[in-house]
Amino acid sequence: MRRNLVLILILTLVLAAVGLPRLIPRDVLFGNPEKFSPRLSPDGTQMTYIAPYEGVLNVWLKTVGAEDDRPLTRDAGRGISSHYWAKNGEYVLYLQDDDGDENYHVYRVSVATGEVTDLTPFEGARCQISQITYDRPDEVVLSTNRRNPEVFDYYTLNVVTGEITLLQENPGDVLYYDLDWNLRPRAYSQPTPEGGEDFYVRRTADSDWERIFTWEYGDTDSFSIYFTPDNRGLYLADSRDSNTLRLVELDLATGATKVLAEDPDYDIHHGHGDSSFLFDPVTHELQAVAFYRDKLEWEPLTEDVRGDIEFLNGAFDDADYYFSDRSRDDRTWLVTVYDDDRSSAAYVYHRDGRSLEKMFDIRPEINDYTLAPMIPIAYTARDGQVIHGYLTLPPGVLPRDLPLVLDVHGGPWARDMWGYQGEVQWLANRGYAVLQVNYRGSSGFGKAFLHLGDKEWGGKMQDDLTDAVEWAVGSRLADPERVAVYGWSYGGYAALAGATFTPDLYACAVSGIGPANLVTFIETVPPYWRVGQENFFRRVGNPETERGFLESRSPINFVDRIKIPMFLIYGAHDPRVKLSEGEQISAALEAAGISFEYVVYPDEGHGLARPENRLDAYRRVERFLADNLGGRFEE
């Protein structure tokens, strides 16, 4: 049974006399995970995962069922965070950029020898793996902007020979291409002047391009997923004629659509990439889809996986789980499980006999400490809109008049989700109540809710955060004199906006990589954001035609209102929120005589990938919060 707010509050009251549990060391929370990101070899006999080697994240290899783990790569720099098996089973592929600039290269490492080769040694270009299939085991589909930094062309990359062959050149105005299972470009999306997207297809592999429909502006969170097994149709996440993203099958010959799965209140989930959709690895049949309500829920689409999902639902009870990989014969699956008050874990699921074999905890040390449950909550904003979120209370203390950290998610077109989060547990362990809010503009709750956030940066989106704090204060959970606003990316902007637009609400603010000036932020986004920029302008604002409006929503112009201490963090190589945003706001704070701390990490981008930087930043922030809210600090 799922936890609910009443039961958790009762348990909290019972344990309140115990006092806060022992401090969780920061390196347990924010150091490199012990192991994560498991992947399975095509034959199911070997697996890889990411783990530290000499302090740096690398790819490790082991035999399934044996204890012969060994490092496959030995990177000594920024580390590796994502990887894939080539379908021929001879190589593992991984992506890596330079100090956070997001210009990823595709590297190949030989499973037999450990030899590493940069397959895309293109200076200043971003490369992405778009498709991997057993139909072409020696090849992957590569998209890269090496020819034109504003758009991505599509190529086949032979992982054995390194040969790159052009599949489709982007004429300059295509958002993305879809390739069928024979790796032929068969569909693409092109932005319209009104902020929508025209969708073009080739009804057969040899026919001309035809515009088959248009996603109007309100429907542009819709997207194509993959082709059907026979290449005659496409699976879509489609909100046409619906408020929510539905799973739809499109017949390319007729243009007819068939709804396969839908929820009236929640979109089909796409927060974990392909792992939110369960495809047969060889036939390409779509077998299950996930919805994220308060928590993740799987809906089987075919009978051959229904029993598997029912078994996994029972085995993992309250926890969320995703499918990380499957063997070619489909008898072995890798499943990653997420709970809120223990480490996430990786399992091997053997379909024959339906048995589970635990491989590892991602952060096993965290299980030695008392963690706090995450409680789904909802409140009503000032205009009557219902807002969903999560509340995490510090264990061992009475949930009354607590110091509160409002933890604002980035995106903003994303959402907070249930499950273990290092930042949340860190803050709760230090004695803070943690409130996470899926403010209007967050994704997952249907297009009407998403577009309530249009041009509401610093407006109604910020009001939802203010109303969340007032809900917590009015419920006597939070002490109104000890509230902090905290976040990264858009959450960093919201922290700056909270300090300027509601200067009496917060005791302090922590802004990580937050835009301070919306005009300069939009003017300096990466060049490959240009295609589709009209959609972005409609959601945020156009600096050419709405400069005054954007200035009115830019915290940089209201620094004189700030009454509280500020903490700012930026990465020198960030391609999305340039370091100039940090330079502007820090200079303005200094000129206004406002107390602030400002940290720039010279080898980071849009986030902190290096563990030494994470530990340094969280140490500084922890001291800052302790000084201003009175929570605990690890000396």
Active site residue: 308, 407, 467, 574, which one? 574
Q: How far apart are CA 37 and CA 48, in angstroms?
A: 8
Q: What pLDDT is stored for residue 77 in this prediction? A: 87
Q: How far apart are CA 350 and CA 308, in angstroms?
A: 10
For residue 575, give every residue at least 6 positions away whose Cβ sits within 8 Å of its Cβ, in sequence order, or none.
Answer: 101, 102, 103, 526, 605, 606
Q: How far apart are CA 347 and CA 306, in angstroms?
A: 19
Q: How far apart are CA 38 and CA 49, in angstroms?
A: 4
Q: What's the pTM? A: 0.95
Check if 574 is active-site.
yes
Q: Check: CB of residue 572 under 8 Å from CB of residue 603.
A: yes
Superfamily of domain 34-144: TolB, C-terminal domain (2.120.10.30)
Q: What pLDDT is stored for residue 274 in this prediction? A: 47
Q: How far apart are CA 612 and CA 213, in angstroms?
A: 50
Check if 383 is active-site.
no
Domain assignments of the chain as residue spans, ordered by start: 5-23+368-629, 34-144
Superfamily of domain 5-23+368-629: Alpha/Beta hydrolase fold, catalytic domain (3.40.50.1820)
Q: Check: CB of residue 171 under 8 Å from CB of residue 147.
A: no
Q: What pLDDT is stored for residue 11 in this prediction? A: 53
Check if 130 is active-site.
no
The residue among 315, 233, 237, 325 whose CA lies nearest residue 279 is: 325
Q: How far apart are CA 411 and CA 539, in angstroms?
A: 12
Q: What pLDDT is stored for residue 273 in this prediction? A: 47
Beta bridge partners of 440: none
Size (the chain), residues: 635
Which DSSP string do the residues of 242-257 spell out, in sequence order? SSS-EEEEEETTT--E
Active site residue: 130, 276, 489, 554, which one? 489
Which helix (H) or strand (E) segment holds residue 583: the answer is helix 579-592
Q: Check: CB of residue 389 under 8 Å from CB of residue 62.
A: no
Sheet holding 70-71, edge to edge: 36-40, 46-53, 56-63, 70-71
Residues of the chain with pLDDT under 70: 1-17, 271-274
**SS3 at position 68:** coil
Residue 460 CB: number of other CB atoms within 10 A? 20
Distances (CA, A) of 300 to 309, 313, 333: 7, 12, 16
